[in-house]
Structure 1
Amino acid sequence: MDVQEVHVPLHRLTRRQLLRTAGLAAGVAALSGCAAGPGPVGARPGEPRPDRLRMLYATVEGDLDAVRGLLPAFRDRFGFDLEIDGQPYDALQQRTFAELAVRSRHYDIMIMDTPWTPALTKVIEPLGGYLREPALNDFAEVDLADFIPKIFYDTAVYREDSPTAHFPATDAPAAVDAISAAGFDVYGLPIQANGLTMAYRKSLFEDPAERDAFAGRTGKSLAVPSTWDEFRTVAAFFTRPGQRLYGTTWMAGVGDWATDDFKTLLACFGGDGHLIGDDLSLHFADEPGARALAFYRDMITDHPVVPPGTASASWDETASTFGAGLAAMSMNYHSMKLDSPRLGELGYAPVPRGQAAGPHFGTYMLSINRSSAHKAWAYRAITWLTSSPAQLEMAKAGLHPTRTSVYDRLVADPTSPDAEFYRALRDTLAVGVGRARLTNYTEVSQAIAVAVNTAAAGRAEPRTALDQAARSVRRLLTAAGYEVP
């Protein structure tokens, strides 16, 4: 039976509608014999060369301009064009779910954000068979072992029959045979990695007067903090409301940013930074979570070291606040800028650690639409786009690479103004913690963000806020069809 192409007009869908769409897509792909099969079936090395490939991609979040800069080289290498449809995040998510729900063939390649993938493993193409076929790996060196291990396993490795499960060993370099032996497969190749890094104003930390004052007050040398206890001490030292200077920023407004702040601290305080276990245990509400949230609130409300308005701040407000010179330190998912040269130079470092390190990260990958008519060429295209040479070139335009070899080159370049940022990001991605794998992660994250915000603003005790969030999350998981222990 031939599958007719249906190109769905973009329209506003509610999150509940999106989830229903994802469920439909999974069900249709699993039950119908009409969908193109996985692996080399329908994607043989001799598949005719297409006249073009189409890719659905993120705009700002995926650094679209960096990828577009490679299009002339792509044309030279492949002999046909790659057409990119760039969409802002919300529109991208809606388009992705809508296209896959009806098994449209319009897009061959689609960028995937990790919160979406558990709902989509039955409608994007598993790549294990492709990776083992030499004739399909003739346009670029794939070299799975060169991807940062934690990034690769968190982003690309899933079990179709149990998409909540994480691969059990994430420190070893990726190898397709080991992945298959554990019952998992590869569902894309990582292209853009975001991790929580710390920026700081070097001029403040290197000022002799500041160093003397800090030593006089604490008996210690002023240095970029590497532990959370040091971080709180340094932040308190630089907090001077009368001078419109504060120690740090946090992102405590209701949104994924607050959840990400919290899950970073949760991992550092000895908890599970995924928030929810593969067995659906609500780890975020355990005792480490209460201690992490109390630490967070202390810096925002009890003994504030942050600017006014922090309880409503997101990624954007935090970047603006730091850029204006209102904070000595800040944390975000991209390189930062100061608004004026008089504010000095920027430095970068990994976020502090506690009992462990656990900065939040999240990565985009390039996946193949399982209904594409050009899967062999789509596979060749994503191997080329995510290859070391391509990533190195795109990093010049701001891409956050996913390969160890690319970071090594960027960090070693003495002429690069971004070498320090890339060093901090590389070290962050090596130890970071991703998200729980849930089809309704967005709703779960929102419920936890409400608790984080409520506690941070002083409207509830951390323990009370987390207990309320646990009740909300349990209801959400049950409504999504999960059996919560």
Structure 2
Amino acid sequence: MENTTFRIAVRKFGPFESALHKLWDAFCLKYDISIAVEMVPMELHDLYEQTITEGGLKKGDWDIAHINTDWIFDAAQANAVQDLTSFIAKKAPQDFPEGWHNSLLHLQEIDGGIYGLPFHDGPECLIYRKDLFENPIEKENFKKQFGYELAPPKTWTEFEQIATFFNRPDENLYGCVFANYPDGHNMVFDFCLHLWTRGGSLLNAENQMDINTQAAIDTLDYYRYIVKNTAAVHPGSADFGSVEAGMAFANGEAAMTINWFGFASMCEVIAESKVKGKVDVTTLPFAVGGKTASLNVYWLYTIGAGSKNKKLAYDFLRFATTAESDKLLTNEGGIGCRKSTWKDAEINATIPYYHKLESLHENALTLPQIAVWPDIAILIDQMVLKALKTNIPSADLLKDTQIEIEKIL
């Protein structure tokens, strides 16, 4: 007996919600489908709880869910999501797999199975206000003050100097905005990025998780210092998740931010943006002895292992991942995952830096694929939060967190 309502668990974000509604309507119209649909938008924590922790995907409460690549290993190990290999063998998505960059295909490939199709992407990058950086008066004043040309920062030292220079609270403009809301994601990603750009790693030579290192101490020392630097940072950062930080930037409240590529493109397509045509993206700054890095975490369309509507769900996934659908998602403010979208002339006319996605992927690293990663991420998140709220030395925080990580492992 098929469920009378088709249910989709959606990552709560305006562009995702509007794109999905449009895609579903177009799909039903094209194939003359009349099943009722319920799309439930959820914040990260709730989405994980409902789909994986509480077994919603496994029990068939959800036919389709947005699952990100941080969780997919966990979801596959828990038999929560459907292996799509046999579906793809019968009827592959349009130009699969050539239509996608390799970096968007491997995280969902687990033990020979394929557990999702790419939905939304956009590695972490430095997003900045090119109108401010290119302004002749700003350039002149900056050079007088710092002795070098104003340009997107190549090092963390330059990042801090530029953020201080553009920090003008009386104009509601801040040097940079961070996402420091403790949701097990933003600060974890920041920690990883800062660690990688200092030449550090989450793993030791034996491929074991080890954050009790000098590079990690330097990372935490710098991060707690820069985030608390009121002469450079948006005061709302402590309460912002990545979406809120992205919205503050789109609202013209910051000169720079380190966030997902999607929040840059959003500035060009959402009605409320005050910075259309004034934004650009580049690679992240790095520390002496390090090099630039990016983080690749992307969202997938997945089918619940317990769904009673698997064929319908897969047909929708094929429809939702065509070149046309991928472009629609992009125009709504999400980030299409196909190479065709990245190179699309119309998209690049609206979002002039869209083609840079390919080069950003070349520096993109990924998080360790271990089933307990979500638990480890929470420990790292708590550690960074403690660093921001206390004076406990970074070395002690890292040592204690490493002990807790080893207990989980």
SS at match of 1:381: helix
Q: State the AA in 2 paired with 1:74.
A: F
Secondary structure in structure 1 of the residue aligned to 2:384: helix
1:257 matched to 2:186 = yes
Alignment of 1:234-313 (within 5 A): 234-239=162-167, 245-255=173-183, 256-272=185-201, 275=202, 281-301=208-228, 305-308=232-235, 310-311=237-238, 313=240
Report the residue type matching 2:117 in the other structure: L
Q: CA shift at 1:305, angstroms?
A: 2.4
Q: Amino acid of the residue matched to residue 383 of structure 1?
A: R
Letter in 2 for 1:381: F
Note the residue ranges of structure 1 that are not aligned, 5 or more in a row. 8-50, 160-183
Residues 387, 455 of structure 1: CA spacing in aligned structure 2 closer, same or farther, 3 A cutoff? same
SS at match of 1:144: coil
Q: Deviations over 1:121-163 (max 9, x none)?
A: 1232222333333xx23xx514212222222212x1112xxxx
Q: Distance in 2 between matches of 1:87 and 1:277?
A: 38
- Superposed, 1:60-139 pairs within 5 Å as 60=13, 63-81=16-34, 83-89=37-43, 90-97=45-52, 100=55, 103-105=58-60, 107-121=62-76, 122-133=79-90, 136-137=91-92
How big is the shift at 1:351? 4.0
User: Which residue of structure 1 lines up, in the alignment, with residue 104 of structure 2?
Assistant: 151
Post-superposition offset of 1:109: 2.9
Q: Is the 8 A contact 2:51 2:62 kept in 1?
A: no
Q: Deviations over 1:306-354 (max 9, x none)?
A: 244645554355346545654321223323659895x885312134243
Shift of the 293–81 alpha-carbon distance from structure 1 to 2, 3 Å rule, reads farther
Distance 2:142 2:376 in 1: 42
Give the paired residue count: 395
Q: Give, in whole Å, the separation in 1 of the partners of 2:61 and 2:251.
A: 44
One-letter identity of the residue aligned with 2:110: Y
In the other structure, the counterpart of 1:359 is 294
| 1:97-132: CA deviation from partner (whole Å, max 9, x where unpaired) | 377468434543333222332232123222233333
Q: Is the 8 A contact 2:167 2:174 kept in 1?
A: yes
Distance in structure 2 (CA, Å) of the matches to 1:428 and 1:102: 33
SS at match of 1:112: strand
For 2:325, the equivalent position in structure 1 comes to: 390
8 A contact 2:179–2:186 mirrored in 1? yes
Cross-structure match for 2:365: 433
What is the identity, as a one-letter code, of the residue corresponding to 1:382?
A: L
The correspondence of residues 129-208 of structure 1 with structure 2, limited to 5 A, is: 129-133=86-90, 136-137=91-92, 140-154=93-107, 156-159=108-111, 184-208=112-136
Residue 402 of structure 1 pairs with residue 337 of structure 2 = yes
Q: What CA RMSD, in Å, does the superposition of the two structures yield over aligned residues? A: 3.5
Q: Offset of 1:280 from its aligned partner?
A: 6.7
AA partner of residue 442 (structure 1): P
Work out whether residues 182 and 385 of structure 2, in 8 Å CA contact, stay in contact via their aligned partners in 1: yes
Question: 1:331 is aligned with what amino acid?
Answer: I
Change (3 A) 1:379 1:305: same
* Cα contact 1:199–1:346 (8 A) shared by 2: no
Structure number with the bigger relative contact order (C-alpha 8 A, sep ≥ 6) is 2
TM-score when normalising by structure 2: 0.82
TM-score (norm 1): 0.70
In the alignment, the residues of structure 1 paired with residue 63 and residue 170 of structure 2 have an alpha-carbon distance, to the nearest angstrom, of 57
Unmatched 5+ stretches in structure 2 = none
- Report the residue type matching 1:113 in the other structure: N
Alignment of 1:373-384 (within 5 A): 373-384=308-319
Q: Distance in 2 between matches of 1:382 and 1:245?
A: 42
Matching residue's letter, 1:85: M
Contact 1:147–1:404 (8 Å) recurs in 2? yes
| Cα 1:374/1:251, change in 2 over 3 Å | closer
